[in-house]
Amino acid sequence: MQASLELPYHAPYAWDALLDFLRARAVPGVECVRAGRYLRTLAVDDYRGCLALEPGAGAALLVSLRPASASVVKRLEPRLRAAFDLDVDPAPIARCLNQDPLLRDLLAKRPGLRVPGHIDAFEQAIRAMLGQQITVVGARDLARRMVERWGTRLGNAGDCGLTHLFPTPAQLSQAEIASLGMPRARAGAMVALARRLIDEPDLLSRGATLEHTIQKLKLLPGFGPWTAHYVALRALRETDAFPASDVGLLRALTAEDGMRPSVATLTARAERWRPWRAYAAQLLWTSDSAPSRKRPSCE
């Protein structure tokens, strides 16, 4: 049995482009993309199971949960609406970004592109820290090894071989994360973050403004400007967050002569994209991930 729920959105919705982004970062054992669906494991209080999202009838996504639990799927609705950016109206975003010729061309290819979020801010923060200064593939492999070592194993493998829950703050608070083969300082920052989150459950939350959110995040262990903006963009739904030093963003704006813009130049250009810089970033990442380009090395 499975419990299902339709989640309406404002059309258009570039579902395939969103899946491409998630597919490249899917942590084996925890999540996967297959046959137009996104699947992942999750825990809600005492519930353990797998959810799947796919296009529903009309302008809606269909979420299903196994084992079935109508109460859990209903409780998940706000988190899923945020994680899959279902409440935004793409029209004002398009009007703003279409003023830049490059973004206008990218948006024409993927109308309704959304910024994929995350149902768990802690998991997204840890994954962002894993991805500091390494490739997307390298970060995904580190996350896989972390899951296998400290995550909770589910009783039965589901679709795509979903076998584990991502480690909780309690599980990582005592973990020897440096044994995965990463800098000890970064591993220590993850452990410190896990321990702080146990004592402060609202630690990873939005501030009154984007600036307040970024300053709050930069006070956390292991959070520099890039990580703060990336977590704000992915986990906290800050629509104007913009990790200007990201290699993928800089590479996506490489000129025909091979020259990349400086961080200062990109930051200045991005002023015209406010208050939707997160969507501009997603368009550029999607462009940089196209078959004709190499994947970003710092996402």
Residue 255 has pLDDT above 80, yes or no: yes
**Residues 45, 246, 257, 288: which is the catalytic one?**
246
Instruction: Give a three-class secondary structure readout of the chain.
Output: CCEEEEEECCCCCCHHHHHHHHHHHCCCCCEEEECCEEEEEEEECCEEEEEEEEECCCCEEEEEEECCCHHHHHHHHHHHHHHCCCCCCHHHHHHHHCCCHHHHHHHHHCCCCCCCCCCCHHHHHHHHHHCCCCCHHHHHHHHHHHHHHHCEECCCCCHHHCCEECCCHHHHCCCCHHHHCCCHHHHHHHHHHHHHHHHCCCCCCCCCCHHHHHHHHHCCCCCCHHHHHHHHHHCCCCCCCCCCCCHHHHHHCCCCCCCCCCHHHHHHHHHHHCCCHHHHHHHHHHHHCCCCCCCCCCC
Residue 299 has pLDDT above 60, yes or no: no
Instruction: Please identify, in words, the CATH class of the domain defined by 3-85.
Output: alpha beta
Q: CATH assignment of 121-234?
A: 1.10.340.30
Residue 82 has pLDDT above 90, yes or no: yes
Per-residue pLDDT at 133: 86
pTM of the model: 0.92
Give residue limits of the domains in the chain: 3-85, 121-234
Per-residue pLDDT at 298: 35
For all residues of the chain together, what is the average pLDDT? 93
* Within this chain, domains 3-85 and 121-234 share the same CATH topology: no
Active site residue 120: no
The average pLDDT across 60-86 equals 94
Per-residue pLDDT at 156: 66
Per-residue pLDDT at 295: 33
Per-residue pLDDT at 63: 96
The average pLDDT across 219-248 equals 96
